[in-house]
Amino acid sequence: MKSRIVSTWIEDFLRDRPVRANSLIITIYGDSIAPHGGSVWLGSFIKLAKPLGINDRLVRTSVFRLSKDSWLTSEHIGRRSYYGLTATGRRRFEHAYRRIYFQPKVHWEGDWQIVLTAGNELTPAQRDEVRKELQWEGFGLIASGVLAHPSADLEPLLDILQSNGVQDRVVVVRGKSLGALVNKPTRELVRECWNLSSISQDYKRFLDRFRSVQKALKSARELDPEQCFVVRTLLMHEFRRTLLRDPQLPDQLLPHDWPGNAARQLCHELYVLTQREAENHLMSVLETASGRLPEAAPYFYERFGGLATIN
């Protein structure tokens, strides 16, 4: 049985926070469909997306555009069309969601990654694309052609450079703070490179928006599968929009009252709360070229430090 309170919350959310169909579809594919094989019949996807306010025509238009933009790929079997993430789309998604599903390192020892993109090795288009992807990954532009991030984790950086074919055309330097890890010049650099005040306000709005639906779901006698799927999708879509602006700086460089930690905890708790019924809804609605949607891959259960396996 659907909760009236949750239904009202969903209606209010979709009215007050209109979502772009293309972006929401990517959220659905990355969060819900990729762990289940990645490709589904378009007709079943249209049914899945309907309670999120995306009608048949809008879904068809959006998946066509996403295919042209190399996010989705299509396969036609008889009269049915099946859509799944391309390798490029999956990589783009994984860059974003690696930061969402896994807790960032909070201990920092003064390490910095510095990327120099100046010079004639890159075309203007390549320089812009690398800068854009690095800023999505949390790098700050500290000077023209110079991006930096206080982290020792090179894997995401190298992945971005290799996927853009520029690993031999930029200079990557690993540095380390000398003396005190955090001092006045460092804090000023952080304020100049990253708009933490704006991101903090986004996190606070996120908390205000989702605490009410968390309370409603906790108090419900039973959870409705469709509502759980819709709430989980809106949760991940909204959290992604906020988190992708967050450079995920070490705790030492953040304000003492940083709300990002509370937002991540709420996201984790609400994801776990809706997990079982949301997955049941996916299994009951979506169809693949082979028939029934397969069970989620093992890596799905590694999200947020470990999810309960659904038997």
pLDDT of res. 61: 96
- How far apart CA 234 and CA 102 sit, in angstroms, is 19
Q: What pTM value is reported for the model? A: 0.88
Q: Specify the 3-state DSSP secondary structure of 116.
A: strand
Query: Rounded to the nearest 5°, which phi and psi values hold at 171?
Result: -105, 125
Neighbours of 295 (CB within 10 A): 14
Ordered DSSP codes for 276-310: HHHHHHHHHH-EETTEEPPPPPGGGGGGGG--PPP
Q: What is the tens place of the pLDDT at every residue in 243-297?
A: 888 998 988 899 888 999 999 999 999 999 999 999 999 999 999 999 999 999 9
| Mean pLDDT computed over 57-70 | 94
Instruction: Report the first-to-last Cα separation within the chain, whole angstroms.
Output: 22
Residue 311 confidence (pLDDT) above 70: no
Compute the distance between CA of residue 247 and CA of residue 190 in angstroms, rounded to an integer. Answer: 10
Is the CB of residue 263 less than 8 Å from the CB of residue 206? yes
* Contacts (Cβ under 8 Å, ≥6 apart) of 140: 147, 148, 149, 190, 193, 194, 247
User: Widest CA span of the chain, in angstroms?
Assistant: 67
Q: Is the pLDDT of residue 136 over 90?
A: no
pLDDT category at 118 given cuts 50, 70, 90 is: confident
CA angle 134, 135, 138 (to 5 degrees): 95
